[in-house]
Amino acid sequence: MHIVIDIGNTQIKTGIFDGDELIHRESFPSTALNDSLKKLCLKYEVDKGILSHVSRLESKEIQGISNHLEVILLDKNTKVPFENLYSTPETLGVDRIALAAAAATKYKGKPVLVIDAGTCITFDYVNGNQQYEGGSISPGITMRYKAVHSFTANLPLLTPENEIPALGNSTSNAINKGILSGVIYEIEGVIAEYRSKNANLTVVLTGGDANFLSNNIKSTIFATPNFLLDGLNSILIHNLAE
Protein backbone atom coordinates (compact mmCIF):
# COMPACT_ATOMS: atom_id res chain seq x y z
CA MET A 1 0.00 0.00 0.00
CA HIS A 2 1.10 3.56 -0.57
CA ILE A 3 -0.30 7.01 0.06
CA VAL A 4 -0.62 10.20 -1.97
CA ILE A 5 -0.87 13.52 -0.14
CA ASP A 6 -2.16 16.76 -1.65
CA ILE A 7 -1.66 19.71 0.70
CA GLY A 8 -3.67 22.81 -0.08
CA ASN A 9 -3.90 26.12 1.76
CA THR A 10 -6.41 24.87 4.37
CA GLN A 11 -7.23 21.24 3.56
CA ILE A 12 -5.18 18.11 3.02
CA LYS A 13 -6.47 15.42 0.68
CA THR A 14 -5.06 11.91 0.89
CA GLY A 15 -5.57 8.71 -1.04
CA ILE A 16 -4.55 5.16 -0.16
CA PHE A 17 -3.72 3.12 -3.25
CA ASP A 18 -3.26 -0.58 -3.80
CA GLY A 19 -1.36 -0.48 -7.07
CA ASP A 20 -3.40 1.85 -9.29
CA GLU A 21 -6.66 1.32 -7.36
CA LEU A 22 -7.83 4.00 -4.95
CA ILE A 23 -9.19 2.16 -1.92
CA HIS A 24 -9.58 5.01 0.58
CA ARG A 25 -9.84 8.79 0.36
CA GLU A 26 -9.75 11.14 3.32
CA SER A 27 -9.51 14.90 3.88
CA PHE A 28 -8.57 16.76 7.04
CA PRO A 29 -7.43 20.25 8.15
CA SER A 30 -3.79 21.18 7.63
CA THR A 31 -3.40 21.50 11.42
CA ALA A 32 -3.95 17.74 11.76
CA LEU A 33 -1.27 16.77 9.24
CA ASN A 34 1.10 14.53 11.20
CA ASP A 35 -1.40 12.87 13.54
CA SER A 36 -3.77 11.98 10.70
CA LEU A 37 -0.98 10.67 8.47
CA LYS A 38 0.40 8.52 11.27
CA LYS A 39 -3.02 6.91 11.81
CA LEU A 40 -3.50 6.26 8.08
CA CYS A 41 -0.05 4.77 7.64
CA LEU A 42 -0.55 2.42 10.57
CA LYS A 43 -4.07 1.39 9.56
CA TYR A 44 -3.17 0.57 5.94
CA GLU A 45 0.46 -0.50 6.55
CA VAL A 46 1.74 2.23 4.24
CA ASP A 47 5.48 2.65 3.84
CA LYS A 48 5.86 4.80 0.70
CA GLY A 49 4.15 7.92 -0.54
CA ILE A 50 4.27 11.13 -2.55
CA LEU A 51 3.61 14.64 -1.31
CA SER A 52 2.36 17.62 -3.29
CA HIS A 53 1.91 21.02 -1.71
CA VAL A 54 0.93 24.39 -3.19
CA SER A 55 1.43 26.28 0.09
CA ARG A 56 4.62 26.75 2.05
CA LEU A 57 5.57 23.68 4.06
CA GLU A 58 8.06 24.00 6.90
CA SER A 59 11.07 21.68 7.00
CA LYS A 60 10.00 20.35 10.42
CA GLU A 61 6.64 19.33 8.91
CA ILE A 62 8.40 17.51 6.08
CA GLN A 63 10.63 15.79 8.63
CA GLY A 64 7.55 14.76 10.62
CA ILE A 65 6.05 13.14 7.53
CA SER A 66 9.34 11.39 6.76
CA ASN A 67 9.19 9.80 10.20
CA HIS A 68 6.06 7.89 9.12
CA LEU A 69 7.02 6.83 5.60
CA GLU A 70 9.45 7.09 2.73
CA VAL A 71 8.09 10.05 0.79
CA ILE A 72 8.77 11.72 -2.56
CA LEU A 73 8.34 15.50 -2.59
CA LEU A 74 6.87 16.45 -5.95
CA ASP A 75 8.69 19.32 -7.66
CA LYS A 76 10.03 20.33 -11.07
CA ASN A 77 12.85 17.76 -10.81
CA THR A 78 10.65 14.74 -10.05
CA LYS A 79 10.53 12.13 -12.81
CA VAL A 80 7.11 12.07 -14.47
CA PRO A 81 5.39 9.72 -16.98
CA PHE A 82 5.17 12.35 -19.71
CA GLU A 83 7.43 14.71 -21.65
CA ASN A 84 7.18 18.27 -20.39
CA LEU A 85 7.27 20.81 -23.24
CA TYR A 86 6.35 23.78 -21.03
CA SER A 87 8.75 26.65 -21.80
CA THR A 88 9.15 27.53 -18.09
CA PRO A 89 8.96 24.15 -16.30
CA GLU A 90 10.27 25.70 -13.09
CA THR A 91 7.06 27.74 -12.80
CA LEU A 92 4.62 24.90 -13.53
CA GLY A 93 2.51 24.18 -10.45
CA VAL A 94 2.70 20.74 -8.87
CA ASP A 95 -1.08 20.40 -9.17
CA ARG A 96 -0.86 20.85 -12.94
CA ILE A 97 2.05 18.38 -13.10
CA ALA A 98 -0.10 15.78 -11.32
CA LEU A 99 -3.07 16.38 -13.63
CA ALA A 100 -0.86 16.01 -16.70
CA ALA A 101 0.52 12.75 -15.30
CA ALA A 102 -3.00 11.40 -14.82
CA ALA A 103 -3.94 12.35 -18.38
CA ALA A 104 -0.82 10.74 -19.83
CA THR A 105 -1.28 7.44 -17.98
CA LYS A 106 -5.07 7.02 -17.92
CA TYR A 107 -5.58 8.04 -21.56
CA LYS A 108 -2.30 6.88 -23.05
CA GLY A 109 -2.03 7.61 -26.77
CA LYS A 110 -4.98 10.05 -26.75
CA PRO A 111 -5.05 13.86 -26.71
CA VAL A 112 -6.49 15.03 -23.38
CA LEU A 113 -7.69 18.39 -22.10
CA VAL A 114 -7.88 18.53 -18.29
CA ILE A 115 -10.04 21.24 -16.75
CA ASP A 116 -9.48 21.79 -13.04
CA ALA A 117 -12.18 24.05 -11.61
CA GLY A 118 -10.93 25.23 -8.25
CA THR A 119 -9.63 28.53 -6.92
CA CYS A 120 -8.48 29.12 -10.47
CA ILE A 121 -9.74 27.31 -13.55
CA THR A 122 -6.81 25.66 -15.28
CA PHE A 123 -6.81 24.08 -18.72
CA ASP A 124 -3.97 21.63 -19.40
CA TYR A 125 -3.35 19.79 -22.66
CA VAL A 126 -1.48 16.52 -23.14
CA ASN A 127 -1.16 15.35 -26.74
CA GLY A 128 -1.38 11.79 -28.05
CA ASN A 129 2.38 11.36 -27.73
CA GLN A 130 2.25 11.85 -23.95
CA GLN A 131 3.70 15.34 -24.24
CA TYR A 132 2.47 18.14 -22.03
CA GLU A 133 2.14 21.28 -24.16
CA GLY A 134 0.65 23.77 -21.68
CA GLY A 135 -2.74 25.40 -21.35
CA SER A 136 -4.28 28.42 -19.65
CA ILE A 137 -5.29 29.81 -16.26
CA SER A 138 -8.30 31.98 -15.46
CA PRO A 139 -10.12 33.06 -12.26
CA GLY A 140 -12.32 30.46 -10.59
CA ILE A 141 -15.99 30.95 -9.78
CA THR A 142 -15.55 32.12 -6.16
CA MET A 143 -12.71 34.43 -7.18
CA ARG A 144 -15.00 36.09 -9.75
CA TYR A 145 -17.66 36.76 -7.12
CA LYS A 146 -15.04 38.32 -4.84
CA ALA A 147 -13.65 40.44 -7.67
CA VAL A 148 -17.07 41.85 -8.62
CA HIS A 149 -17.59 42.90 -5.01
CA SER A 150 -14.05 44.13 -4.28
CA PHE A 151 -13.56 46.30 -7.37
CA THR A 152 -16.93 48.04 -7.37
CA ALA A 153 -18.53 50.36 -4.82
CA ASN A 154 -22.07 49.02 -4.61
CA LEU A 155 -22.20 45.40 -5.77
CA PRO A 156 -22.74 42.83 -3.00
CA LEU A 157 -20.57 39.83 -2.20
CA LEU A 158 -22.61 36.78 -3.18
CA THR A 159 -21.96 33.08 -2.92
CA PRO A 160 -22.28 30.85 -6.01
CA GLU A 161 -25.74 29.52 -6.77
CA ASN A 162 -26.51 25.95 -7.79
CA GLU A 163 -28.68 27.13 -10.67
CA ILE A 164 -28.07 29.79 -13.30
CA PRO A 165 -30.87 32.40 -13.44
CA ALA A 166 -32.70 32.49 -16.75
CA LEU A 167 -32.57 36.31 -16.70
CA GLY A 168 -30.70 38.88 -14.65
CA ASN A 169 -33.82 40.73 -13.51
CA SER A 170 -32.24 41.89 -10.22
CA THR A 171 -28.73 42.85 -9.19
CA SER A 172 -28.16 39.50 -7.50
CA ASN A 173 -29.54 37.59 -10.48
CA ALA A 174 -27.48 39.73 -12.86
CA ILE A 175 -24.27 38.89 -10.98
CA ASN A 176 -25.11 35.19 -10.79
CA LYS A 177 -26.15 35.10 -14.43
CA GLY A 178 -23.05 36.94 -15.59
CA ILE A 179 -20.51 34.97 -13.60
CA LEU A 180 -21.97 31.48 -13.93
CA SER A 181 -22.95 31.77 -17.59
CA GLY A 182 -19.62 33.41 -18.32
CA VAL A 183 -17.71 30.47 -16.85
CA ILE A 184 -19.82 27.98 -18.81
CA TYR A 185 -19.34 29.90 -22.09
CA GLU A 186 -15.62 30.14 -21.43
CA ILE A 187 -15.22 26.42 -20.81
CA GLU A 188 -17.42 25.50 -23.77
CA GLY A 189 -15.37 27.84 -25.96
CA VAL A 190 -12.02 26.39 -24.85
CA ILE A 191 -13.28 22.84 -25.44
CA ALA A 192 -14.51 23.81 -28.91
CA GLU A 193 -11.15 25.40 -29.71
CA TYR A 194 -9.22 22.24 -28.80
CA ARG A 195 -11.75 19.95 -30.49
CA SER A 196 -11.42 21.90 -33.74
CA LYS A 197 -7.82 20.65 -33.84
CA ASN A 198 -8.39 17.21 -32.22
CA ALA A 199 -11.64 15.51 -33.18
CA ASN A 200 -10.92 12.60 -30.81
CA LEU A 201 -10.11 14.84 -27.84
CA THR A 202 -10.89 13.49 -24.37
CA VAL A 203 -12.02 16.15 -21.89
CA VAL A 204 -11.65 15.57 -18.14
CA LEU A 205 -13.26 17.86 -15.59
CA THR A 206 -12.14 17.89 -11.96
CA GLY A 207 -11.85 20.23 -8.99
CA GLY A 208 -14.17 21.66 -6.37
CA ASP A 209 -16.68 23.16 -8.83
CA ALA A 210 -16.73 20.12 -11.13
CA ASN A 211 -20.16 18.88 -10.04
CA PHE A 212 -21.88 22.19 -10.79
CA LEU A 213 -20.09 22.60 -14.10
CA SER A 214 -20.69 19.04 -15.28
CA ASN A 215 -24.44 19.59 -14.91
CA ASN A 216 -24.32 22.68 -17.12
CA ILE A 217 -21.70 21.93 -19.79
CA LYS A 218 -23.18 20.51 -22.97
CA SER A 219 -19.95 19.06 -24.34
CA THR A 220 -19.05 15.42 -23.69
CA ILE A 221 -16.77 15.33 -20.66
CA PHE A 222 -15.62 12.95 -17.94
CA ALA A 223 -16.16 14.36 -14.45
CA THR A 224 -13.45 12.75 -12.32
CA PRO A 225 -13.14 14.09 -8.76
CA ASN A 226 -10.01 12.07 -7.89
CA PHE A 227 -8.01 12.89 -11.01
CA LEU A 228 -5.27 14.78 -9.16
CA LEU A 229 -4.84 11.95 -6.65
CA ASP A 230 -4.66 9.50 -9.56
CA GLY A 231 -1.95 11.65 -11.11
CA LEU A 232 0.11 11.73 -7.95
CA ASN A 233 -0.18 7.96 -7.73
CA SER A 234 0.97 7.53 -11.32
CA ILE A 235 4.04 9.68 -10.60
CA LEU A 236 4.81 7.62 -7.50
CA ILE A 237 4.51 4.34 -9.41
CA HIS A 238 6.69 5.76 -12.20
CA ASN A 239 9.43 6.60 -9.68
CA LEU A 240 9.19 3.33 -7.80
CA ALA A 241 9.71 1.47 -11.08
CA GLU A 242 12.94 3.34 -11.80
| Pick from 162, 165, 220: nearest CA to 188 | 220
In one-letter notation, the amino acid at residue 217 is: I
Contact at 8 Å (CB) between 164 and 209? no
CA angle 195, 204, 143 (to 5 degrees): 100
Catalytic residues, by residue number, are 95
Beta strands 120-126 and 112-117: pairing type?
antiparallel
DSSP sequence for 22-38: EEEEEEEEGGGHHHHHH
Burial 156-190 (b: 16+ CB within 10 A, else e): eebeeeeebbeeeeeeebebbbebbeebbeebeeb
In sequence order, which residues have a C-beta less than 8 Å from that of residue 83 and are 6 or more positions away?
A: 129, 130, 131, 132
Instruction: For residue 167, give every residue at least 6 positions away whose Cβ sits within 8 Å of its Cβ, in sequence order, or none.
Output: 173, 177
